[in-house]
Amino acid sequence: MVRRVAAALTVTTLLVSGCAAQQKSPTGQGTAAPGVTDTTIKVGGVLTKTSASGYSTKDAEIGAKARFERANAQGGVNGRKIEFIGAEDDGQDAAKGDAAAKKLVQKDQVFALVPVHAPNFGGAAFLEQQGVPWFGWATGPQWCGTKTGFGYNGCLAPKQGAGSQTWWGRQMADLLGGAAGKSVYVQTSDSSGSKYGGTTISQSFTAAGFKLVGVNSGLPAAAPPPDWLPYVNKIMTSNGGKAPDVVVSVIAGTKFNVGLYSALKRAGYQGALTDATSYDAAILKDPASAQALEGVIAAPMFEPFESTAPEIAQFKQDVEKVAPGALPTQHMAIGYWSADIFLDMLAKAGKDLTREKFLATGNGDYLYENAGFGRIQYPKDHTEPNGCGALVKLEKGAFQVAKSMKCFDNVPLK
């Protein structure tokens, strides 16, 4: 009987000891964070790799991998290397994005989601509820007002009264020799995101001194229209019967912009054309697209690849190691800079890593500046954009830096 009791006590002791050991972090300081060991930190992402429209952010996976590989080659962060398991595809479907986020957290046991680059990402509420950090391009309202979502460029969908960007309008004003006496027309599609972008970008240009002569949100978002003439006629007569000095396109998709710009040029438009998506080397492979976009001024929220900045040379070198011969793309840069901010925040969180400590670091007067993307400040940028951007112009079939990365103060959104 005594032997049985002793044996039972021994088994119980071992079980308790085993549970206690499992509850200890790798450093012995409390509960271990999911995805964290003595030597590794597991992360994975969610991208729109495929979609019905052909839109894809798959290159963001290359960018993130390139940045993580350099960090690992340098010994990792606080003694741990990044175990990057790649990115799930949400197919531009919110429900699939939610399922992908749950798989990564519950099955794959990742510490954080990096990068998240999906316009219709549906996993935000789950990640916020679970306290799981996620990093990427904050293009939609699901990023804003969270404690866990860290857009590399802040929140691009601020609420009324919160800070709204002025950098695009001010950079264009500098490029065109001032905004005094100049007019601007904004063309969006009928999607909620495009309409919202039309509001914030319109204010960016008026804050810089341009006169807003029109905003048209009647363009169907599903596919380019068979006839661009109605839209072109509105634009060409918007400035008191004349054409505006600047046309801003807030439309996602090269096909849309190629159609709009070609139609405007056929109608004799001579002003400036600008958008946020035409900075893409793949465009140059198609002569018709390259011709349509000749002279267009793109507005990336990172330092252009044609820049001589050391940070861009490092970016190219990192990408070449993981994807030899790959052309840099906007999505690649977004993945790279999102990973870069995650790594900086990780380093500042310290060796004894938990999600709670990581989020406290990110939301506790966090400031990081880098010439590659400007600056980011949290918690402020959970509710407003970082206010930084550059301009690139397509001239004679090649992209040229028109204005290097610069940050400007935001103004309250009206």
* Angle, helix 310-322 to helix 330-349, in steps of 10 degrees: 100
Asked whether the whole model's pTM tops 0.85, one would answer yes
- The count of other CB atoms within 10 Å of the CB of residue 406 is 16
Query: Tell me, what's the pLDDT at 192?
Result: 80
Contact 46, 87 (CB under 8 A): yes
Contact 149, 382 (CB under 8 A): yes
| Burial classification of residue 368, based on how many CB atoms lie within 10 Å of its CB (0-12 exposed, 13-18 middle, 19 or more buried) | middle
C-alpha–C-alpha distance, residues 166 and 328, integer Å: 27
Q: Where are the beta strands (DSSP E) in 6-157?
A: 40-47, 81-89, 112-117, 134-136, 149-151
C-alpha–C-alpha distance, residues 330 and 95, integer Å: 25
Query: Tell me, what's the pLDDT at 54?
Result: 81
Contact 289, 254 (CB under 8 A): yes
Closest C-alpha among 134, 85, 246 to residue 179: 246
Could you list the mean pLDDT of each consecutive 10-residue stretch along the chain, which spans 414 residues? 42 39 38 89 97 89 98 98 98 96 98 96 97 94 96 93 96 98 96 88 97 95 91 98 97 87 97 93 88 96 96 98 95 97 98 97 97 97 97 95 97 94
Query: Tell me, what's the pLDDT at 7?
Result: 42
- The count of other CB atoms within 10 Å of the CB of residue 52 is 10
